[in-house]
Structure 1
């Protein structure tokens, strides 16, 4: 597959695809934890860096290939290949960044992304122009598309599992494998044959030399590297989440001085656990009555009595007040710890509901759904393990031990 290829450029092409994937998936992860006003900008940035990673990897791989002397690149097919790439990447990321995508949506996004990568490749390949004719093995074409779809699915699943740390790096590596694996598999099935005797190829349209393409690729490599370094800058909202996590629900230790009298022998203070936000602060009397939510003009607070449901969204949550969802800087675990357990119950690993606001419960598949009241009623999934508890809290059945 790599016979005749420059090994250094091959390694560079894979590294470019991985860096582009890490930057793009990192921006997509932030989409799931930002106010709606920022979604479009982050989605555009994620699609841009992923498309640049795919496209640049492809043409670095082309520069690594042993092409005949005098080969040039037609400008129009080259630009069209990038536009195809940017379009399918943007649509795929939009599908997986909205809500909690089901498996069917992830599969369709992976198919679209894989087919888009393959389309970009073959459109770009037919942008090659020179004194030769190009043919492709049908079996290798099919195999390259299958590899692209399978690896794209693996990258999206790894990305959705957790939007940060090792999982984000794994999704970027899977993305790099998707692009480079598809490219070099397709290149292995490509054959350049001399034209028939007496026939000469005429270049039609604006063309660029390999040297010009090298300059463009070098510039895009710099853009990808800059984007990767910027993606490593911590998200400022993480500080808000960490500050919220340091609320008076943490378990601390305070000194308890035993009572003494004039004749008592002094003793050392005993340490006892107490729910404190820091040493020396008084214990919390009750769960927080209000939840912070982010708005365009700053942080607002809503009364917990108005909360219908809380949904996990990356490192943050979305709080529904019966009218709309708004972002809360707390994690789902922090929200569960702050809310009154007598009124709220965690019905799913990603959902908490207010039992007094439940107006409907219905079995659906292996689990169930509940509907919450309000001007804009909405439904929340209930996991199979939580059905009995929810019914018991609603007075429909006894709670199982």
Structure 2
């Protein structure tokens, strides 16, 4: 398949497709909970990065291939191939970003995305002009289409299962495999023939040399890498520091402590380096237990009943709520969630994990701490820190049981 190809450009083409997929899918995750105008902008940016990733990968692959000398690239088919990318990717993302995507909608999106990738490839190949005739094996065209649709479906399913962390990386890899796998499979079934007695692709119309194409591709590679690096920069959560009366500070911490040295976190007040204290007595009582937790969806903010919540996880600058079937992002920080949840039913077992005690299916010791599995149609494991292991066992009744057995 890669006979005669430049191996360095082949590797670069696959890497560009993966980086473009990661950036585009990552931007698409931020469609959730945004206003309608911002949602359109994010959808355009996401579709743009995915389309640039597909198109750039294709033409890096073309530069890596053993193309006959004197070949040029017709500008009009080349531009049309990019527009096909942007259109089908935008429609596919729109289908899976509105409401709760059904299996039919995901399948249709994958089919559209795969067909779009294949169409972009062959339209781009039609733009290759020179003293030669191009032949394509029909069986390889069908195989390339199957590769594109199948891996596009897998990438979308991984992407929808969980929008951040390793799942986002896996969906980007699947996307890169879909694009590059389709391209090199199709190239395997393509042959350049002599023009003797055969129609050939003449350079009628505006055309560009391989050197000009290489310059454009280099600029697009820089754009993809820059977008990828910018996406990796975490979003900062705006922290509004409430005003704290000096009299209240003096009552709690003494008259020598300045109000500027004290900070307020959800449900508590703290001095740097010290354990937070409840806000009771400052006229700011702890909020009552929340009955629902907000989560972000493609069409706005939804609410999950606390009785359905299995765990809450702080994942980098995201907070993920698991309801036993899947994870969704919440606008609350994990500290906000802890302050709103009833401590009689929820326990923070790790600095980045809160669990619902009633949904613990099993617990086992692991290293210095422990691991619990939470029930549901999609059970999942949560780590327990060493400092919280004893409290968890007591809440589960395991300490008393052990005492009775002894």
Matched, 1:191 2:186: no
Structure 2 counterpart of 1:278: 276
Q: Is the 8 A contact 1:28 1:93 kept in 2?
A: yes
Q: Is the 8 A contact 2:287 2:339 kept in 1?
A: no
1:100 to partner: Cα distance:
1.7
**Helix, strand or coil at the partner of 2:30:** helix
Change (3 A) 1:337 1:114: farther
Number of residue pairs matched by the alignment: 297
Taking the aligned partners of 1:158 and 1:289, their CA distance within structure 2 comes to 30
Matched, 1:206 2:206: yes
Deviations 1:273-319 (A, max 9, x none): xxxx933543837236999999xxxxxxxxxxxx995599x9679xx
Structure 2 counterpart of 1:247: 266
Structure 1 counterpart of 2:217: 217
Matched, 1:338 2:340: yes
Taking the aligned partners of 2:37 and 2:288, their CA distance within structure 1 comes to 34
**Helix, strand or coil at the partner of 2:213:** helix
Deviations 1:339-395 (A, max 9, x none): 799xxxxxxxxxxxxxxxxxxxxxxxxxxxxxxxxxxxxxxxxx999xxxxxxxxxx
Taking the aligned partners of 2:195 and 2:219, their CA distance within structure 1 comes to 35
In the superposition, the TM-score normalised over structure 2's length comes to 0.64
Matched, 1:71 2:80: no
Structure 2 counterpart of 1:107: 107
1:178 to partner: Cα distance:
0.4
Q: Is the 8 A contact 2:20 2:53 kept in 1?
A: yes
1:111 to partner: Cα distance:
0.4
Change (3 A) 1:337 1:151: farther
Change (3 A) 1:49 1:240: farther
Structure 2 counterpart of 1:51: 51
Deviations 1:143-188 (A, max 9, x none): 0001001111111111111111111111111110000000000000
Q: Is the 8 A contact 1:32 1:98 kept in 2?
A: no
**What's the Cα RMSD here?**
3.9
Q: Is the 8 A contact 2:77 2:127 kept in 1?
A: yes
Taking the aligned partners of 1:108 and 1:177, their CA distance within structure 2 comes to 19
Taking the aligned partners of 1:308 and 1:339, their CA distance within structure 2 comes to 17
Structure 1 counterpart of 2:3: 3
Structure 2 counterpart of 1:299: none
Change (3 A) 1:31 1:74: same
Give the gaps of 5 or more residues in structure 1.
Answer: 253-276, 295-306, 318-326, 342-382, 386-401
Q: Is the 8 A contact 2:9 2:61 kept in 1?
A: yes
Change (3 A) 1:100 1:316: farther
Taking the aligned partners of 1:292 and 1:109, their CA distance within structure 2 comes to 28
Taking the aligned partners of 1:329 and 1:19, their CA distance within structure 2 comes to 27
Change (3 A) 1:105 1:240: farther
Question: What pairs with 1:2-401 in structure 2 (closer than 5 Å)?
Answer: 2-197=2-197, 202-237=202-237, 247-248=266-267, 278-282=276-280, 284=286, 286-287=288-289, 310=304, 329-330=331-332, 338=340
1:33 to partner: Cα distance:
3.5
Change (3 A) 1:224 1:108: same
1:233 to partner: Cα distance:
1.3
1:38 to partner: Cα distance:
1.1
1:202 to partner: Cα distance:
3.5
Change (3 A) 1:278 1:159: same
1:197 to partner: Cα distance:
5.0
Taking the aligned partners of 2:35 and 2:10, their CA distance within structure 1 comes to 40
Taking the aligned partners of 1:42 and 1:194, their CA distance within structure 2 comes to 47
Q: Is the 8 A contact 2:22 2:172 kept in 1?
A: yes
Taking the aligned partners of 1:290 and 1:152, their CA distance within structure 2 comes to 35
Taking the aligned partners of 2:210 and 2:49, their CA distance within structure 1 comes to 23
Q: Is the 8 A contact 1:88 1:113 kept in 2?
A: yes
1:79 to partner: Cα distance:
0.3
Taking the aligned partners of 1:290 and 1:158, their CA distance within structure 2 comes to 27
**Helix, strand or coil at the partner of 2:70:** coil
